[in-house]
Structure 1
Amino acid sequence: MRIDLHTHSTASDGTDAPAELVRKAAATGLDVVALTDHDTTRGHAEAIAALPGGLTLVTGAELSCRLDGISMHMLAYLFDAEEPALLAERELVRDDRVPRAQGMIAKLQELGVPVTWEQVARIAGDGSVGRPHVATALVELGVVPTVSDAFTQDWLADGGRAFVEKHETDPFEAIRLIKGAGGVAVFAHPGASKRGRTVPEAAIAEMAAAGLDGVEVDHMDHDTDTRARLRGLAKELGLLVTGSSDYHGSRKTCVLGEYTTDPEVYGEITRRAFGAFPVPGAGGV
């Protein structure tokens, strides 16, 4: 059984429409895939309508969080998408995305980069605009060779020359909201140091005490030593260990199913959740 619990579609910053993503997941040989767009569940309905037989969809979202000035992401699985408190918080984060992107564009223009809001909005399409869309604009303009190269101190990394902060949820509040909506909370790529500063292990222990369910260990941004360290920490704290691709379509080099989650861990996630249930494929449309 092959299970990928972290993917993105055009509902946020991926390049595949939700329907295309689930069809690709099935073609790749996945049995279970989670759709976890940034701060939105807008792609779920399309994914469910197109879900091929033999593939199960886990509905979710990746919530933007910040702890002591460190940006981090919290994966939320199988929560009630209409629960008012979590819905309101997701809307706060989403509503801040446009002014934030416009602020980054203004800073880039001050640095001599001829990027425009119209260009970034075209790239984002119907998705929730974010840094990857601005980064893609920099690639289009020939400023950097790849999206990853835009996430440096020269450009869009935390604290970089064109960085602009946005509203982000305190992770302890995110855990409370996810659990209140019947979901399961997993800290996404906690050791991805190439993205910037990472949350210390002591804080992860505090989150575990506050109800954090798991940590994403097997991820393209974690080297062998980081995975071993996180696996040991998870065992010490009694946290579930997940693995996933963090697939973004053509925007990143990761591929569907590159890293996967153990079926027993997936079973435990589904047992803990009561806000929503995995959706089995019925043949799609």
Structure 2
Amino acid sequence: MPTAFDWHGLAGPIDLHAHSNASDGTDAPRVLVETAKRAGLGAVAITDHDTTAGWQEAAEAAQEHGVALIPGVEFSSQLEYRSVHILGYLLDEHAPAFLEERERIRAERLGRAKLMVERIGADHPLRWQHVVDEAREGATIGRPHIADALVALGIVPDRSAAFDGILHWRGGYYQPHRAPEPAHAVRIIREAGGVPVIAHPAARGRAMMERDELVKLVDAGLFGLEVFHRDNPEQDREWLMERAQEFDLVATGSSDWHGRGKPNRMGENTTAPVALQLIVEEASGTEPVIPTSLRSSD
């Protein structure tokens, strides 16, 4: 869906991965956009886990603050025992296949969270209502909300401590969750008119980026790799760029901002305007939100 806008003319950088409290961020979608404005960004993507619930509020704030908004999601998938996240930009949030898989994943996350709370509650004063109290209404509840409840109860000092201890897979309370294979997630995003990009592909090692696996994803419609991300080790970024060039994939960069949920700073890694231009031109699901103030100066 070509959009008549010069992305090279933005007044600030582009951050294509940020979370609100519609999933596991700590701040409302409006605050996400306000934070992007204060950070001097020209464009930001809202990419909550398996939900588009924050899109409308973020779009209204984008118009108000003069920051271009790229609506997206971070789709959960799984390769063997490894969690793989696929960013989907500018997809049709009402596409049937996307809606069906999104609700299945959300239900799986909810069941998993309840089971973990039950296990933790046998040893600590944690109850399900404590977790619900930490989540925005309609949010995709997951481990970050359990972590926030543990912090609120004084059981751990912060989210990082929760994930390093009680919520770690070695902590004794962990419950794995089922998710679609990465290639299936890529196809669902494509069927919804979206543009799929692998989030932080070297964060858990290179196994999922072996050539055979990457070929499957490219054949399914993969469009890009999130190369510039704090969880991709520096020594792996050049290697990721080589994979991107080999398979003609766009390279993106972003903060993976979660508000107070993570130390990541909005805009700490950014995406080149040419990469965003290619993403927008490739999409057919929904339009980016370009504030009137930016269109008038284009």
| TM-score normalised by L of structure 1 | 0.92
1:110-133 per-residue CA deviation (whole Å, 9 max, x = no partner) reads 3x2221111111111322111111
Spell out the pairing of 1:135-174 with structure 2 (5 A cutoff).
Answer: 135-152=147-164, 154-158=165-169, 160-174=171-185
**What code does the residue aligned with 2:78 have?**
R
2:69 is equivalent to residue 33 of structure 1: no
2:143 is equivalent to residue 120 of structure 1: no
Deviation at 1:217, TM superposition (A): 1.0
Match of 2:281 among 247, 271, 275: 271
2:208 is equivalent to residue 204 of structure 1: no
Relative to structure 1, the CA distance from residue 159 to residue 230 in structure 2 (aligned partners, 3 Å threshold; closer, same or farther) is farther
Query: Paired residue for 1:253?
Result: 263
Q: Determine helix, strand or coil for the equivalent of 2:161.
A: helix
Deviation at 1:142, TM superposition (A): 4.1
Match of 1:107 among 119, 140, 143: 119
Deviation at 1:227, TM superposition (A): 1.5
Query: Paired residue for 1:23?
Result: 34
- Given that residues 34 and 57 in structure 1 are in contact (C-alpha distance below 8 angstroms), is that contact kept between their aligned partners in structure 2? yes
Specify every segment of 5 or more residues in structure 1 that has no aligned partner in the other structure, as ranges: none
Q: Determine helix, strand or coil for the equivalent of 1:10.
A: coil
- Given that residues 34 and 65 in structure 2 are in contact (C-alpha distance below 8 angstroms), is that contact kept between their aligned partners in structure 1? no
Relative to structure 1, the CA distance from residue 235 to residue 43 in structure 2 (aligned partners, 3 Å threshold; closer, same or farther) is same
Structure 1 CA distance, aligned partners of 2:111 and 2:219? 35
Structure 1 CA distance, aligned partners of 2:275 and 2:92? 21
Structure 2 CA distance, aligned partners of 1:206 and 1:150? 35
Structure 1 CA distance, aligned partners of 2:169 and 2:215? 24
**Residues matched between the structures, number:** 279
1:59-84 per-residue CA deviation (whole Å, 9 max, x = no partner) reads 00001111112111110000111111
2:247 is equivalent to residue 234 of structure 1: no
Query: Paired residue for 2:6?
Result: none
| TM-score normalised by L of structure 2 | 0.88
Q: Determine helix, strand or coil for the equivalent of 1:205.
A: helix
Deviation at 1:138, TM superposition (A): 2.7
Deviation at 1:175, TM superposition (A): 0.9
1:147-188 per-residue CA deviation (whole Å, 9 max, x = no partner) reads 223334x53234652111233122111111111111100010
Q: Determine helix, strand or coil for the equivalent of 2:23.
A: coil
Deviation at 1:197, TM superposition (A): 8.7
Percent identical among aligned pairs is 44
Deviation at 1:19, TM superposition (A): 1.1
Query: Paired residue for 2:254?
Result: 244
Specify every segment of 5 or more residues in structure 2 that has no aligned partner in the other structure, as ranges: 1-11, 294-298
Q: Determine helix, strand or coil for the equivalent of 2:257.
A: coil
Q: Determine helix, strand or coil for the equivalent of 1:14.
A: coil
Spell out the pairing of 1:53-64 with structure 2 (5 A cutoff).
Answer: 53-64=65-76
Deviation at 1:108, TM superposition (A): 1.3
Query: Paired residue for 1:176?
Result: 187
Structure 1 CA distance, aligned partners of 2:88 and 2:143? 21
